[in-house]
Amino acid sequence: MDPLTHALLGASVAHAAFGQRLGRRAWMIGALAGILPDVDFFIASSTDPLLNIQYHRQFTHAFAFIPLGGIVAAAPWLLKSAARSQWRPILGAATLAYATHGVLDACTNYGTQLLWPFSDVRVAWHWLTTIGPPFTLILLLGLLVALRRGQRRWPTLLALAAALLYVGSAAWQQERALSAQAQIAAQRGHTIERARMFPTVGNVFLWRSVYESAGVLHTDRIRAGSDLTWKTGSSVALAQEAALPPELRANERIVRDYRRFAHFSDGWVARALADPEVLGDARYSLSTERFEPIWGIRFHPGRPVPTEWVDFTARNRIPLADLWRELSGRDAEYRPLPRKS
């Protein structure tokens, strides 16, 4: 999730739990603690382009790291002698806010190693996008009202309840969209081997459906309004390790880096249609019409560093007019679901 949302969530839970004891310090401590786990974003190496994606959302985001993270987040206040008499609520506010970070990130597509060091599984529930204006606005309004009302708790508690309700509605809509996905695949005669339902920015109604069948990834758009409707997308072959050219599979570093990237992208790897040398993360696409990865990797077997990280994030534009047309039901390409046989 974006840093602002993390800071707001951390500030809100710290204010709700400890605002009466710490005053304004509670939300300040919570805001810092809420964004602190993302210090791992600065882990990088010029000789290892995949080091960042390997360690971002890893140990600093894990449940096991929360006690230490809380201490680090509370340290700027605990180092002041005047605040040490309140070390318990300060540490409590910092630890509680720190704990929200990994859980919120797990609600997105990116994946978070919550169970590190016991497991390297990247937990991702795919309920929210990494930038979610409605969710962020709910928290911001609750905190602002609370601070203007003389540190009252009820606005932040109300905002936290509304935010939780928003996440719950996203989970429910996702289940509806998954049921629609199964009907679409059945109509095509496809056996679903693996399936995901990815949210689109700023809403809980429009979903990007991706499923694997016979080595091919099929992508569609599903609108979960009062009725479920869908729009045909595109298909792209899964780029598996065994399909790498022999000169790439002969390079141990390249094979290792492919596996690291595949683990990061949860196995959703496909070649970019516009540039087949790029192996992209198929969880994300710049286009709604075909697969255009936001990021990926390209291999150069003759170079000292044979793996290149390819980032097209700067090209990412949210087509608000098209998104609104889909959300409002005015996109003529959407049609009812196929009937169950």
What pLDDT, in 10s, does the model give residues 219-276? 999 999 999 999 999 999 999 999 999 999 999 999 999 999 999 999 999 999 989 9
* 90 neighbors 34 (Cβ within 8 angstroms): no
What pLDDT, in 10s, does the model give residues 272-301? 998 999 999 999 998 888 899 999 999 999
Q: Do 117 and 224 fall within a single domain?
A: no
Q: For residue 150, tell me if it sits in a domain.
A: no
Confidence at residue 341, expressed as pLDDT on a 0 to 100 scale: 60
Q: Do 121 and 179 fall within a single domain?
A: no
328: left (phi over 0), alpha (psi -120 to 50) or beta: alpha
Q: 258 lies in which domain range?
A: 175-320
DSSP string, 133-170: HHHHHHHHHHHHHHHHTTS-SHHHHHHHHHHHHHHHHH
Confidence at residue 316, expressed as pLDDT on a 0 to 100 scale: 81
Say what percent of the chain tops pLDDT 90: 86
Q: For residue 170, tell me if it sits in a domain.
A: no
Q: Do 179 and 311 fall within a single domain?
A: yes
Q: Do 97 and 213 fall within a single domain?
A: no
What pLDDT, in 10s, does the model give residues 86-96? 999 999 999 99
Confidence at residue 95, expressed as pLDDT on a 0 to 100 scale: 98
What are 209's two structure tokens? 């459906």
300 by DSSP, 3-state: which?
coil
Q: Do 305 and 187 fall within a single domain?
A: yes
- Domain tally for the chain? 2
Q: Do 185 and 71 fall within a single domain?
A: no
For 55, 107, 146, 174, 311, the CA distances from 264, given in Å and listed in that order, are 10, 16, 39, 22, 15
The two beta strands, 206-213 and 216-224, are: antiparallel
* 14 neighbors 30 (Cβ within 8 angstroms): yes
Mean pLDDT confidence for 26-53 = 96
Confidence at residue 289, expressed as pLDDT on a 0 to 100 scale: 83
Q: For residue 156, tell me if it sits in a domain.
A: no
Q: For residue 260, tell me if it sits in a domain.
A: yes
Q: For residue 19, tell me if it sits in a domain.
A: yes
Q: Do 119 and 184 fall within a single domain?
A: no
Q: Do 312 and 236 fall within a single domain?
A: yes
DSSP string, 79-93: TSGGGGGGHHHHHHH
Residue 14 CA to residue 36 CA, distance in Å, equals: 14
Q: Do 316 and 251 fall within a single domain?
A: yes
Residue 241 CA to residue 249 CA, distance in Å, equals: 8
Q: Do 93 and 195 fall within a single domain?
A: no
Q: For residue 148, tell me if it sits in a domain.
A: no
Q: For residue 339, tell me if it sits in a domain.
A: no
What pLDDT, in 10s, does the model give residues 161-192? 999 999 999 999 999 999 999 999 999 999 99
Q: Do 120 and 235 fall within a single domain?
A: no
